[in-house]
């Protein structure tokens, strides 16, 4: 038994808990199968929450044990143990990810992954990815190969704060002759309650952000810490066995029952975390008996202590690190939509580096006697590992080929189609530069005119001549906002004024839709649309509303059910007509800009790989029938003029990545501001033909 004892537990003098090693196995298997895409285990992400409880328990048990024995805690020793336990393998992983990114990913993806690597090396990956989670324009991007390191960042932040908080509590209350343990209970209760309430509120408001938020997750670690403060648990043997199996059942239930639509973490996270806490408490009760945790046959602790289960738990840290990059890089090779079989194959293949690094790096380093005797060496090793990982990220960014930005005088965009019959297949310079295409969104976006997910009112976004005789109102979601440069050029030319009413992933049609970012009903969209329409209704015959929107939303039916296929298209078309009729009834004229095609691949990422073969980044212009409801609604709405730029974006049967030295798309489905600006003559021609000028 001693040969397999966890080093931290050996140093703390605590009895080894084989059931906790087995609990790690449950957690990692749930995560692996979930990430591989196994459909009936969509809730396997709760394995991360189980890891949080385990970490809170083990670290607190170690710290309190040291406090009981010596009366203090050696922060240097604690951080030395954490450094040698976690950082060498993490540095190796980030280095390998950097190398594979250079080989398998595009230069644009490499620059993005480089930032992810630096954030991961500095233990702030969760905040880094939290910021991306609420950025609507980051939603269509391929996942980072180090996305999974957000959870390790939260644990590192816990390790940074918790030992010092225990020491501070000890110093404050031992001076007054009081016992520290009851005070620690109070501290943990406050953290647990405060963090849980905060997490529940934030999950209801910003679930994507809450998922990565340290403060919304702290209660899970605090729960494990509270279990560690329970010195003894007196339960009858059958009661302990029942409690253990109840804990396993809770974790398994959450793994099978939860989905991507479950509001998480929130109150839902109580199911797997309380399950993990129950199992650990059951083990604590059995550990005090003569038979021990593993001695009660057919108990959960006995099953989790079986050698094969413990083996998986023992390599869980390594496997967690390697499995996600394997999936992401497999997708880079075989295509972004991996089958379940391909996902499982990638996870299985990741066992090879898992086993190798566990044997050659993780175990040898954390058991190295010289590092145990001399904490300063372990700390130096940790700093060196961090420096190497940061250097990898910086180096990956610096190693990208320089791509020239075309001067404005050489950028014709859509105008090039007038006298150039052949599509542009090569370029020496482009605008925007593909490596910076994400930011080419138009000035109104950066001036707060795109209302975020939580918002319900548009700012006063007025452009052009405030006293102009004619008013244009740009109304819709980000697919309307992408035409801001087009419309802005028009109002500047004619001395009109422009009002911008746009909201992220909120279509103009009057219908409840699902938020793609939050993956749930989107009530803020309905409220914003109502407020925007009330502002539009104050217009008159000198006001023209230019509407556009993404046509890939999931609508809800009258009974709250999600619609799909023809049923969804018919509902969206009816909603579009309701909006058009309401606007026209108030007086303003209406123009609908047909939605643009969506690429299956990230356009600037593809272009950044090779400017000499731009044809490989083109994609079919075909649009499915159920995505053309905006066209049908405009044709059915008397007096509404339909504008289509598809022939300008997709000359022939394919949509071009570059036209007239202008990069057309900044991601999969949004036009660059540079290219959109060149569509202004086409918009003016259409409006003149419709008698709107």
Q: What is the mean pLDDT of residues 657-668?
A: 94
Check: CB of residue 485 under 8 Å from CB of residue 457.
Answer: no
Residue 574 has which token pair? 């009816």
Q: What is the CA radius of gyration of the chain?
A: 29
584 and 624 inside one domain = yes
Q: How confident is the model at residue 2 (pLDDT cuts 50, 70, 90)?
A: very low
| pLDDT of residue 6 exceeding 50 | no
The total of structural domains in the chain comes to 2
| pLDDT of residue 692 exceeding 50 | yes
Q: Is the pTM of this model over 0.85?
A: yes
pLDDT of residue 346: 97
Dihedral of alpha carbons 361, 366, 367, 373, sign: positive
Q: How confident is the model at residue 295 (pLDDT cuts 50, 70, 90)?
A: low
Report the 10 Å Cβ neighbour count for 655.
23
For residue 562, the 8-state DSSP code is B
From 398, 427, 449, give the residue that closes a domain.
Answer: 398
273 and 413 inside one domain = no
25 and 140 inside one domain = yes
The pLDDT tens digits for 315-337 are 999 999 999 999 999 999 998 88
Q: What is the mean pLDDT of residues 393-403?
A: 89
Q: Which residue has tokens 């590192």? A: 156
CATH assignment at residue 540: 3.40.50.1110
The pLDDT tens digits for 671-685 are 999 999 999 999 999
Helix (H) / strand (E) containing 394: helix 375-398
303 and 422 inside one domain = no
462 and 500 inside one domain = yes
Q: Which domain holds residue 189?
A: 2-398
From 337, 366, 398, give the residue that closes a domain.
Answer: 398
The pLDDT tens digits for 598-628 are 998 899 999 999 888 899 999 988 766 567 8
Residue 515 has which token pair? 């938020």
| pLDDT of residue 11 exceeding 70 | no
From 379, 398, 417, give the residue that closes a domain.
Answer: 398
Q: What is the mean pLDDT of residues 479-488?
A: 97
576 and 509 inside one domain = yes
422 and 302 inside one domain = no
CA 363 to chain centre: 31
Q: By mean pLDDT, which of 103-117, 242-256, 258-272, 556-570 is the weakest?
A: 556-570
448 and 372 inside one domain = no
pLDDT of residue 172: 82
The pLDDT tens digits for 558-600 are 777 888 888 888 999 999 999 999 999 998 999 999 999 999 8
326 and 306 inside one domain = yes
Q: What is the mean pLDDT of residues 382-404?
A: 93
430 and 494 inside one domain = yes
Q: What is the mean pLDDT of residues 150-165?
A: 96
394 and 414 inside one domain = no
317 and 229 inside one domain = yes
Residue 34 has which token pair? 């979930």
Q: How confident is the model at residue 207 (pLDDT cuts 50, 70, 90)?
A: confident
């Amino acid at each position: 038994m001693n040969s397999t004892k966890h080093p931290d537990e050996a140093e703390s003098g605590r009895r080894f808990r084989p059931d906790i090693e087995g609990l790690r196995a449950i957690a990692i298997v749930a995560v692996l199968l979930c990430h591989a895409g196994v459909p009936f285990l969509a809730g396997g992400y709760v394995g991360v929450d189980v890891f949080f409880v385990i970490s809170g328990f083990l670290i607190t048990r170690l710290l309190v044990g040291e406090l009981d024995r010596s009366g203090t805690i050696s922060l240097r020793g604690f951080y030395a143990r954490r450094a040698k336990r976690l950082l060498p393998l993490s540095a190796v992983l980030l280095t390998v990810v950097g190398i594979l990114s250079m080989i398998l990913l595009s230069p644009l993806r490499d620059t993005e992954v480089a930032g992810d690597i630096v954030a991961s090396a500095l233990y702030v990956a969760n905040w880094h990815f939290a910021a991306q989670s609420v950025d609507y324009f980051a939603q269509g991007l391929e996942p980072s190969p180090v996305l999974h390191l957000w959870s390790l960042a939260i644990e590192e932040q816990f390790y940074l704060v918790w030992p010092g908080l225990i020491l501070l509590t000890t110093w404050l209350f031992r001076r007054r002759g009081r016992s520290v343990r009851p005070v620690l209970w109070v501290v943990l209760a406050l953290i647990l309650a405060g963090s849980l309430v905060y997490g529940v509120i934030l999950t209801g408001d910003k679930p994507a952000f809450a998922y990565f938020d340290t403060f919304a997750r702290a209660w899970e670690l605090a729960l494990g810490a509270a279990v560690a403060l329970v010195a003894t648990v007196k339960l009858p043997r059958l009661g302990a066995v029942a409690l253990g199996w109840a804990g396993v059942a809770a974790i398994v239930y959450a793994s099978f029952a939860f989905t991507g639509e479950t509001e998480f973490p929130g109150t839902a996270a109580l199911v797997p975390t309380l399950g993990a806490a129950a199992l650990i408490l059951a083990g604590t009760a059995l550990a005090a008996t003569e038979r021990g945790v593993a001695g009660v046959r057919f108990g959960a602790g006995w099953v989790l202590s079986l050698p094969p289960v413990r083996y998986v738990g023992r390599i869980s840290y390594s496997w967690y690190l390697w499995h996600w990059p394997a999936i992401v890089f497999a997708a880079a090779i075989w295509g972004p939509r991996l089958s379940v079989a391909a996902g499982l194959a990638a996870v299985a293949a990741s066992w090879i580096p898992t086993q190798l690094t566990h044997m050659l790096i993780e175990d040898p380093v954390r058991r190295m006697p010289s590092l145990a005797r001399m904490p300063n060496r372990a700390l130096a090793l940790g700093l060196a590992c961090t420096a190497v990982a940061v250097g990898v990220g910086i180096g990956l960014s610096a190693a990208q080929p320089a791509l020239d930005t075309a001067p404005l005088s050489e950028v014709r965009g859509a105008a090039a189609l007038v006298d150039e019959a052949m599509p542009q297949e090569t370029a020496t310079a482009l605008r925007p530069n593909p490596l910076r295409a994400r930011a080419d969104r138009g000035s109104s976006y950066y001036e707060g005119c795109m209302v975020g997910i939580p918002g319900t009112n548009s700012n006063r976004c007025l452009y052009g001549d405030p006293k102009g005789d004619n008013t244009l109102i740009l109304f819709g979601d980000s697919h309307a906002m992408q035409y801001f440069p087009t419309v802005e050029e028009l109002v500047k030319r004619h001395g009109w004024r422009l009002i911008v009413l746009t909201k992220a992933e909120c279509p103009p049609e009057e219908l409840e839709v699902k938020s793609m970012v939050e993956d749930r009903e989107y009530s803020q969209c309905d409220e914003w649309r109502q407020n925007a329409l009330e502002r539009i209704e104050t217009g008159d015959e000198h006001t023209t509303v230019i509407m556009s929107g993404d046509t890939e939303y999931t609508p809800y039916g009258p009974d709250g059910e999600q619609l799909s296929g023809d049923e969804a298209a018919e509902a969206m078309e009816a909603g579009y007509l309701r909006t058009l009729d309401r606007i026209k009834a108030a007086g303003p004229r209406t123009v609908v800009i047909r939605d643009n095609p969506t690429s299956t691949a990230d356009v600037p990422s593809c272009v950044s790989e090779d400017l000499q073969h731009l044809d490989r980044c083109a994609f079919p212009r075909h649009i499915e029938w159920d995505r053309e409801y905006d066209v049908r609604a405009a044709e059915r709405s008397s007096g509404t003029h339909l504008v289509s730029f598809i022939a300008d974006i997709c000359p022939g049967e394919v949509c071009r990545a570059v036209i007239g030295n202008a990069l057309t798309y900044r991601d999969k489905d949004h036009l660059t501001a540079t290219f959109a600006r060149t569509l202004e003559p086409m918009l003016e021609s259409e409006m003149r033909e419709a008698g709107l000028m």
